[in-house]
């Protein structure tokens, strides 16, 4: 070792297997002095979690075990539940392909149908005395509402149906769809569907609505211009009003960020700017047809 310049302790070091430190105990004491194997303890933890409606974390499980007569530290309960994947919601984030989160807070859309935003807003139905869910998809470039759905329950299958109709109606390629982490959006079937369609889905970070500012602004307008002005007798009444509102929103409502134009007027201006230039040799017919926003 002298010629290598390596200390004797480092030269003969061999990495050990398992965790560092003292080996955890494999038994647990009860109030009557018995020693219970950790395997039996884990079975008691599983029986606690199998109760109907039970969504306990490790501290509530620890309290239940003490009531059963175990003398145990809450850190040991956490360790055993972690090893056996019994922690509440522990596996939700690891199922399927990892989510792609937002890299840039502000969307910089340079053309229509390049970036879409999707979100859900609660709408109170006074006649039914319950909330309905309003799912809306907008174009970040023009602020145009592309499609929407109002139902008492919106599940992952409903999201797939809505997006399927949207992709059939518009010629959409190489787009990015931004949404939050709602259970309907993080579902594996929804993410797989968008992946197969070539849609890049990105998720906002938790508690950061500013990362989806365009549709949050839309929902602010919906709250002020519709929800606070109407009492909905039924969900069908609400559907008719939102159909009329979104039609007015797309065709007439002026936006300061769009130069005091409505989304449709802004798209018309975009189509005129991107018309092919005329040449002297080949005469062309001037029209307002926009191939980017044309429907199939």
Q: Tens-of-pLDDT digits for all 296 residues of the chain?
A: 566 677 777 777 776 666 666 788 889 999 999 999 999 999 999 888 877 677 788 999 999 999 999 999 999 999 999 888 888 654 434 345 678 898 888 898 999 999 999 999 999 999 999 999 999 999 999 999 999 999 999 999 999 999 999 999 887 778 999 999 999 999 989 999 999 999 999 999 988 899 999 999 999 999 999 999 999 999 999 999 999 999 999 999 999 999 999 999 999 999 877 755 433 433 333 333 343 444 44
- Sign of the torsion formed by the C-alpha atoms of 229, 235, 241 and 245: positive
Task: Report all structural domains of the chain as residue ranges with CATH numbers, in order of start.
Answer: 23-90 (no CATH), 115-272 (3.30.420.10)
Residue 170: per-residue pLDDT: 86
Secondary structure in 3-state letters for 127-179: CCCEEEEEEEEEECCCCCEEEEEEECCCCHHHHHHHHHHHHHHECCCCCEEEE
Residue 1: per-residue pLDDT: 55
**For the segment 73-127, what is each residue's pLDDT rounded down to a tens digit?**
999 999 999 888 888 654 434 345 678 898 888 898 999 999 999 999 999 999 9
- Measuring CA to CA, how many Å separate 283 from each of 5, 273, 286? 84, 18, 10
- Measuring CA to CA, how many Å separate 229 from each of 222, 223, 225, 250? 10, 9, 6, 20
DSSP state of 42: H
Residue 292: per-residue pLDDT: 42
The kind and range of the H/E element at 21 are none
Rounded to whole angstroms, the Cα distance separating 89 from 286 reads 58
Residue 173: per-residue pLDDT: 79
**Under 8 Å between Cβ of 159 and 137:** no
């Amino acid at each position: 070792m002298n010629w290598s310049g390596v200390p004797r302790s480092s030269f003969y070091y061999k990495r050990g297997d398992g965790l560092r430190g003292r080996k955890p105990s494999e038994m647990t004491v009860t109030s009557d002095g018995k020693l219970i194997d950790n395997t039996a303890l884990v079975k008691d933890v599983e029986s606690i979690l199998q109760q109907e409606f039970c969504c306990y974390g490790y501290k509530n499980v620890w309290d239940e075990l003490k009531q059963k007569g175990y003398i145990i530290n809450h850190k040991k309960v956490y360790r055993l539940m972690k090893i056996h994947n019994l922690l509440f919601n522990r596996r939700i984030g690891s199922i399927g392909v990892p989510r792609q989160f937002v890299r840039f807070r502000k969307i910089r859309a340079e053309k229509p149908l390049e970036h879409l935003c999707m979100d859900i807003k609660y709408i109170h139905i006074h006649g039914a005395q319950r909330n309905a869910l309003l799912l809306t998809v907008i174009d970040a470039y023009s602020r145009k509402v592309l499609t929407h759905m109002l139902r008492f329950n919106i599940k992952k299958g409903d999201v797939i149906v809505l997006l399927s109709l949207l992709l059939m109606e518009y010629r959409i390629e190489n787009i990015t769809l931004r949404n939050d982490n709602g259970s309907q959006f993080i579902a594996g079937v929804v993410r797989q569907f968008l992946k197969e369609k070539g849609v890049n889905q990105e998720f906002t970070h938790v508690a950061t609505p500013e990362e989806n500012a365009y549709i949050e602004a839309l929902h602010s307008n919906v709250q002020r211009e519709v929800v606070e002005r109407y009492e909905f007798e039924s969900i069908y009444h609400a559907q008719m009003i939102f159909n009329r509102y979104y039609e007015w929103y797309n065709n007439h409502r002026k936006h300061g960020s769009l130069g005091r134009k409505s989304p449709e007027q802004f798209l018309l201006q975009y189509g005129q700017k991107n018309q092919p230039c005329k040449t002297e040799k080949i005469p062309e017919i001037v029209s307002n047809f926009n191939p980017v926003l044309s429907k199939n």
